[in-house]
Amino acid sequence: MCLILFSYNMHPDYRLILAANRDEFYDRPTAALGYWTDHPNVLAGRDLKANGTWLGVSRSGRIAAITNYRDPAALSPDAPSRGILIRDYLVGNSSPQDYLEAVSKIGQRYNGFNLIAGDNDGLYYYSNRSSGVQQLMHGIYGISNHLLDTAWPKVQRGKTLLQDQFNGHQKIAADKILDMLADRWQPADAKLPETGVGLEWERILAPLFIISPDYGTRSSSVVLIHQSGEITFWERTFVKTDNGIKIGKTHQYKLK
């Protein structure tokens, strides 16, 4: 996952409104959103190379999502998959705070990441490139490939676009949020971060929705958690063809 935008306790109907794009190499094998056969209480897509995931929920109201922290100079090819951190939280029963505290003790085994985990009682954030577990209070947040709310152009723009989805009205339309996640606005070069990948790649990675010959946005997701605890999860997949990137399928699940 390379972009997570979310509103927490800012809407009268929804405790959490989360919108996210998963960016990955087009040839990495992936299963679309669905209930896992080996863990039927988990609803998530799945990375079929390492068996983890980037975003998921459980029937008990647990939710977790992860982004990579972009630091190519520090990448270790032997580090364990970061997607396993999401899987282990969703199938477990530790509180999100306790789970992230435990992860913080082993976090340096992994390449850089940002991890959010929540349940019906709270939402928490931890990065192994920062210090400590943070409880998130009400607000609108964004995470890309640096720390929480780092003022990258795509994060600032994404937070504004998400806020616009419910300014002045209460109804939330998931299809409009999915369309929002396809935004291709390109910031000026002077506004781009310098993360060690070179200017050409900084440009490619700058929009909310990423397209390149080998790497790009594979899926967009929206998760709505109602104040009642009901969860609705949408995933829109994308397929690379000879004629460009096409919308694949949109999956929707509701957990009560």
Q: Which of 64-68, 132-136, 169-173, 245-249 has the lowest mean pLDDT?
A: 169-173
Q: Which residues of 159-192 are buried (b: 16+ CB within 10 A; e: fewer)?
A: bebbeebbeeeeebebeebbebbbeeeebeeeeb
Domain hosting residue 111, numbered range: 3-255
pLDDT at 170: 73
Mean pLDDT of 227-246: 94
Rounded mean pLDDT of 225-242? 95
Instruction: Provide the number of structural domains found in the chain.
Output: 1
How far apart CA 18 and CA 4 sit, in angstroms, is: 7
Higher pLDDT, 139 or 243: 139
pLDDT tens profile 11-38: 999 999 999 999 999 999 999 999 999 9
97: pLDDT confidence band, cut at 50, 70 and 90? Answer: very high
**pLDDT tens digits for range 108-126:** 999 999 999 999 999 999 9
What is the structure's pLDDT at 171? Answer: 85
Residue 227 DSSP label: T
Is pLDDT above 70 for 168? no
Is the model's pLDDT at 176 over the cut of 90? yes
Distances (CA, A) of 192 to 114, 155, 206, 207, 212: 20, 12, 7, 10, 17
Mean pLDDT of the chain: 96
The pLDDT score that the predictor gives to residue 66 is: 98
The mean per-residue pLDDT over the stretch 219-240 comes to 97
Task: Specify the pTM.
Answer: 0.97
Q: Are strands 139-143 and 215-226 parallel, antiparallel or unpaired?
A: unpaired
Where does the pLDDT of residue 135 fall: very low under 50, low under 70, confident under 90, or very high at 90 and above? Answer: very high
Residue found by looking up tokens 């790649």 in the block? 201
CATH value at residue 58: 3.60.60.10
Share of the chain above pLDDT 70, in %: 99
Spatial distance between the Cα atoms of 79 and 15, rounded to a whole number of angstroms: 35
Q: What is the pLDDT confidence band of residue 256, given thresholds at 50, 70 and 90?
A: confident
